Amino acid sequence: MLVALLGSAFAAMLMSIGLSWQAYQPLPYPQSDKLFWLQGDMLDEHDKTIMENAISTPVAWQLAQDKQLFDKASAVFYSHSLLRGSVVEPRVETTYVSDDFFSLFDITLKEGRWFSQSDVLGTAPNEIVVTECFVQQHFPDENMIEQSIQLDERRYTVVGVAACDESEPQLYQSNRMSEVFLPFALMMGDRITGMDHLAVRSDLFLVGRIKQGNVQAQLTLLQTQFQAVFEQAQLEQAISGRATLKFSLLPLADKLKGQLRTTTQWLAFAGVGLLIITLVNAFSLYLLDFKSKQNQLALAIVLGAKRGNLQLEQWCYIALIFLFASLVAIGIAKAGVWLMQFWAKEALAHVVWLTLPWWSFLLVVVFAQLCALVFVKLAMSQVSFKDIRSQLSGSGKGQVKQLPKSMSQALLGLQIGVGIVTMSFAFWLLSYFGGQLNTSSGFNSNNLYFVELQQSNYERSSDAIQARYNQAMINLSALRQHPSVESAALAGVLPHEFVFLESLSLVDDGSDSVVAYLQLSGPSYFSTSGQRFIAGGGFSEDGLAINSSGKKVVLNQLLAQRLGVTAADIGMTIYDKNQRPITLVGIVENTFSHTSQAQALAYLPFNFISGNILVRAKVGEKLDLHTITALYKQQNPSQSILKLVDIKLRMQQLNKAAMLSFLAGLVIALMMLIQVVAGMYGLLGYLAILSAPIFNIKRLVGAKTIDILIEQCQNRVSIIAVAVVIAVCFSLVMASIFGILSGQLGIYLLLAVVLIGSFILALEFHHVAKQI
């Protein structure tokens, strides 16, 4: 048991070292300390952030070309395309980059060359670089150099094959591996319009190696120019709100490792707490065992043994236990790293980089041996061999075997204090992440699918919209008639996705407007998604944007609260960003995921800019990409499905970080509880055994059993009181540092105090009664 407890504690220490090393070591790129990324934020009129990572293609393009900020820089846009040439056209992860991207991140070229980058708009060649993984999956027996492949409606020439490894930075999504790289200039067309400046994207990034000097001053100057163009574009599009852009350059390491650093802090704190508890428990048990053998040590001295030899013998004994525990810890830590890589790769960027450095194994072995040496030194310091005769004559009466009162009280107090602190924080972690997991998603994800149509034409002319309307209604009707489908409805994006922005106000001058995310939905959308109405209802067939004389809107609870709207206000007029009147027809529950939390959301009638559809399958039925593709091709052979999303699986991925944190907190809480109970059981048991002669003497002079029990419990209560005061003060300080000081934490502190106190009193009654 001692080896198991020590092994788990040392494994926690090893994991903390590995995570900290991964979180804070330099990125594996050339001159990584100079790698920065552009953080863009869109602010409203009150300087409140309404959209993060808000940069447009013109901003990324110009800054990638600007050599006053960067030695090398690349705009990076993440997308996906369909690989043409088969019935079910596979989706390919595409990434548009500047030519500096490959050298910035030391990506290896296996064969061919990198594509030719053009600095002039409209002149980029149709050249692409594919990865080895792409070739192995789709063209395993072909030489791809100079081959022509079709992505969506465009053909490209393959000029190079890049290595398929983990060197690509995961800027957008964890564990996303690009399969095809394209020139970023293809994103720009032959000119830059005002709409391009307004189209800020969350999947667009700018990274580069900054120059020496005051780059912030140059960035401020460029930001002024971008803001002027951005404001002019808002005026041209008659947008009333005056949003502003704010740019800042931040270290790339913070972008890639920020979440891991936050996780590391909590795990390191828990690991240290677990290690302290374990060492306190191990030392108290060893010390008490040592004291019980004190008469044997005294006899060995009488027979000629040297104190140094006895100390060496004790060290060898305990060092062997600690060595075995450290080896067990290395095995546990290696397994833990593998499990973390397996389970957390979708939640933590570059978790595959996580390794335990070789020196951490040596460190844990050395630390374990130092602990063994300290244990022996402290134990030997508690034994006096000056009066051997007194030692031997008193060894059977219990006095010599007793720990000094200050030592026993300190050990017990330390166990109580550490137990209260660690258990209270473990309870808080369990409650926090458990609450996240128990928060309703706001819709029913079971058997729910999202069919995203591959689309390259977003023209807004009446003829183009009418054509998309006709096709969408044909697709919707076909889906509803499918035997596996229960219901279907038009939907712009996934129920939990937040892409587009809309400004809403209760007055027609746009004052006090609230910026919210926008979703476009058709009739039956809310019944198909399973969202429940707080008040009002959804849209009707004649309310679709293509044939509606008046606009309507549905708000979620969060947006309704921010606007000050209640169920009594159904039917009132609200104004959009262009001061056009729209009618409030309903209020629905919030949609929620652990990754995105709950966001203010407005639902407007579907406008047929896209042709996406939300589908609910019948119970026990599953939809697959081949079935949906065949159905769409039957309606129109030119149609293609970009992706079919199983929303239940998608929600599980979005909540995976919370689940991992909850499970980690549960394991830590259980280990804390085991350590505290085991340590206190052993310590109080040893103290009771060593005090048995004293109890017998008290019984001989007339003390009753109940009197001895009450006396022992009173002694423990005084120690508990002091330990509780210290532990509570320390917990409040730590909670203030971590920003979690709340009444909820106070409840968990009280719960930890009650549990620890109850454990001690119950164990004291048990052990003392057993010895009497």
Tally the domains of the chain.
3
Is residue 11 domain-resident?
Answer: no
Do 165 and 131 contact (CB within 8 A), yes or no? no
User: How sure is the predictor about 396, in pLDDT bands with cuts at 50, 70 and 90?
Assistant: very low
- 292 token code pair: 């019980």
Domain identity same for 704 and 757: yes
User: How sure is the predictor about 224, in pLDDT bands with cuts at 50, 70 and 90?
Assistant: confident
User: How sure is the predictor about 364, in pLDDT bands with cuts at 50, 70 and 90?
Assistant: very high
Q: What pLDDT score was predicted for residue 397?
A: 46
- What's the mean pLDDT in 256-263? 78
Domain identity same for 218 and 334: no
Q: CA 606, CA 114: separation in Å to the nearest integer?
A: 42
Do 664 and 656 contact (CB within 8 A), yes or no? no
- What's the mean pLDDT in 254-266? 78
Domain identity same for 460 and 524: yes
Is residue 463 domain-resident?
Answer: yes
Q: What pLDDT score was predicted for residue 327?
A: 92
Name, of 61-70, 181-190, 365-374, the range with top average pLDDT: 365-374
pLDDT at 139 over 70: yes
pLDDT at 245 over 60: yes
Q: CA 125, CA 156: separation in Å to the nearest integer?
A: 9
Per the listing, tokens 């602990």 go with 371
Instruction: Please say which residue of 194, 210, 242 terminates a domain.
Output: 242
Domain identity same for 173 and 267: no
Do 162 and 110 contact (CB within 8 A), yes or no? yes
Is residue 5 domain-resident?
Answer: no
Domain identity same for 269 and 335: yes
User: How sure is the predictor about 391, in pLDDT bands with cuts at 50, 70 and 90?
Assistant: low
- Could you tell me which residues are beta bridge partners of residue 603? 519, 554
Q: Left (φ > 0), alpha (ψ -120 to 50) or beta: where does 599 sit?
A: beta
User: How sure is the predictor about 476, in pLDDT bands with cuts at 50, 70 and 90?
Assistant: very high
Over the stretch 672-721, which tens digit does the pLDDT of each residue have?
777 777 777 777 777 777 777 787 888 777 778 788 888 887 888 888 88
Over the stretch 736-747, which tens digit does the pLDDT of each residue have?
877 777 888 888
Instruction: Please say which residue of 209, 242, 275 terminates a domain.
Output: 242
- Is 684 or 182 the better-scoring residue by pLDDT? 182
Is residue 250 domain-resident?
Answer: no
Is residue 37 domain-resident?
Answer: no
For the chain, the helix, strand and coil percentages under 3-state DSSP, each to the nearest 5: 50, 20, 30
Which of these, 678, 659, 741, lies nearest to 428 by C-alpha position? 741
pLDDT at 398 over 50: no
pLDDT at 580 over 90: no
Q: CA 107, CA 128: separation in Å to the nearest integer?
A: 15
pLDDT at 394 over 60: no
Tell me the one-letter amino acid at 290. Answer: F
> Domain range holding 742?
258-438+656-771
- What's the mean pLDDT in 528-535? 92
Domain identity same for 314 and 461: no
- What's the mean pLDDT in 250-274? 80
Range list of β-strands (E), 436-480: 448-453
Do 648 and 617 contact (CB within 8 A), yes or no? no
Q: Which of 176-190, 227-241, 717-731 has the lowest mean pLDDT?
A: 227-241
- What's the mean pLDDT in 361-371? 92
Domain identity same for 194 and 295: no
Secondary structure (DSSP) of 505-570: BSSTT-TT-EEEEEEEE-TTHHHHHTPPEEEE----GGGSTTT-SSEEEEEEHHHHHHHT--GGGT
- 274 token code pair: 């677990």
Is residue 554 domain-resident?
Answer: yes
